[in-house]
């Protein structure tokens, strides 16, 4: 098998266009729908005022102490569903803007390749893993965790095999995990992203509108990234070469 021949299980459909990010204006409906949902929720809470914002944090935010202290104020069961709903809230408009921007950039190629249902499943799984990583690191602490950064980092992980994909006869294909970890450009990009993530987590940000103090949940970023990368490898459509 020549270097340009895709390995078994990673063929793409014939005549599939090259793996290039389409213009943002042509983003898939699923990507625009997720961005619209996040913006609508944040806008509604912003217009609703402080009472609605406090209620949203109480009902939807991920708060680790709720798993260890049954007496802590909460809606029964919210400690479990908050592992999903925390992704719907953002600290301020800048937090929302950055997440939506990266969602648009990295979610577009992922959604085009995976399709709507797999794209949405990858977002949810990446966000869940990111939330679990934050929960594990801050187990029992009285802190508030919100934001779609884990899911967005998962889309970054899913987009990397596509961004650095190979053109083949009749179309193009994403890199396998083995090829990805041997790709110098992919490794450099991952290293820079990881360094920035850890630096932002160490530096911290303050001045959020929903909470008096805030920080970057770097552990959710890393957990979401790894989950997205592995989920893409599992979910990516495969066709088998025939003679």
Mean pLDDT is lowest, of 71-85, 153-167, 207-221, for 207-221
How many CB atoms lie under 10 A from the CB of residue 168?
17
154 pLDDT tier (thresholds 50, 70, 90): very high
- Rounded to the nearest 10 degrees, the angle between the axes of helix 93-114 and helix 149-163 is 40
- Tokens 């939330």 belong to 131
Examine residue 84 and state whether it is found in any structural domain, yes or no.
Answer: yes
Residue 171: beta bridge partners? 168
Distance CA 134, CA 219 (A): 6
Counting residues of the chain whose pLDDT is more than 90, the rounded percentage is: 56
Q: What is the mean pLDDT of residues 146-155?
A: 93
Q: Provide the total of helices (H) and of strands (E) in the chain, helices listed first.
A: 9, 2
Q: Please state, in angstroms and as integers, the Cα–Cα distance from residue 26 to each residue in 112, 116, 214, following that order.
A: 10, 15, 34
Per the domain annotation, does 89 fall within a domain? yes
Q: 190 pLDDT band (50/70/90 cuts)?
A: confident
Whose tokens are 């102490």? That residue is 65
pLDDT digits (tens, 9 = 90+) for 138-147: 999 999 999 9
CATH number (domain holding residue 30): 1.20.1540.10
Give the separation between CA 77 and CA 59, rounded to whole angstroms.
Answer: 10
Task: With respect to residue 210, please indicate whether it lies within any of the assigned structural domains.
Answer: yes
Distances 150 to 36, 86, 133, 175, 243 between C-alpha atoms, Å? 18, 10, 10, 22, 42
124: confidence class by pLDDT, cuts 50, 70, 90: very high
- Contact between 171 and 235 under an 8 Å Cβ cutoff? The reply is no
Report d(CA 107, CA 113) in Å as an integer: 10
Top-confidence residue, 99 or 238? 99
Domain count, the chain: 1
What confidence tens digit (pLDDT) does each residue in 208-242 have?
Answer: 333 444 556 778 889 999 999 999 989 887 654 43
Q: Which domain, by its residues, includes 91?
A: 24-235
CB 191 within 8 A of CB 38: no
CB of 55 closer than 8 Å to CB of 74? no
- What is the per-residue pLDDT across 8-40, written as a single tens digit (0 to 9) for each? 444 454 444 545 554 545 889 999 999 999 999
Domain membership of residue 155 (yes or no) is yes
């Amino acid at each position: 098998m020549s270097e340009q021949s895709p390995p078994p299980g990673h063929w793409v459909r014939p005549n599939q266009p090259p793996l290039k990010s389409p213009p943002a204006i042509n983003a898939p409906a699923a990507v625009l729908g997720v961005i619209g949902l996040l913006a609508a929720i944040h806008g509604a809470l912003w217009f609703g005022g402080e009472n609605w914002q406090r209620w949203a944090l109480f009902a939807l935010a991920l708060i680790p102490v709720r798993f260890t202290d049954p007496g802590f104020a909460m809606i029964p069961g919210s400690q479990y569903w908050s592992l999903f709903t925390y992704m719907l809230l953002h600290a301020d408009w800048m937090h929302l803007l950055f997440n939506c921007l990266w969602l648009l950039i990295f979610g577009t190629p992922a959604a085009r390749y995976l399709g709507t249902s797999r794209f949405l499943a990858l977002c949810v799984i990446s966000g869940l893993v990111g939330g679990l990583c934050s929960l594990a690191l801050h187990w029992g602490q009285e802190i508030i965790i919100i934001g779609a950064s884990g899911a967005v980092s998962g889309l970054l992980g899913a987009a990397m095999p596509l961004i650095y994909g190979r053109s083949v006869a009749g179309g193009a294909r994403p890199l396998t995990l083995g090829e990805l970890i041997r790709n110098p450009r992919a490794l450099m990009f991952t290293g820079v992203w990881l360094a920035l993530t850890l630096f932002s987590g160490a530096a911290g940000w303050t001045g959020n509108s929903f909470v008096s103090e805030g920080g970057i949940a770097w552990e959710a970023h890393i957990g979401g990234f790894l989950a997205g990368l592995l989920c893409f490898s599992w979910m990516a459509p495969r066709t088998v070469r025939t003679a």
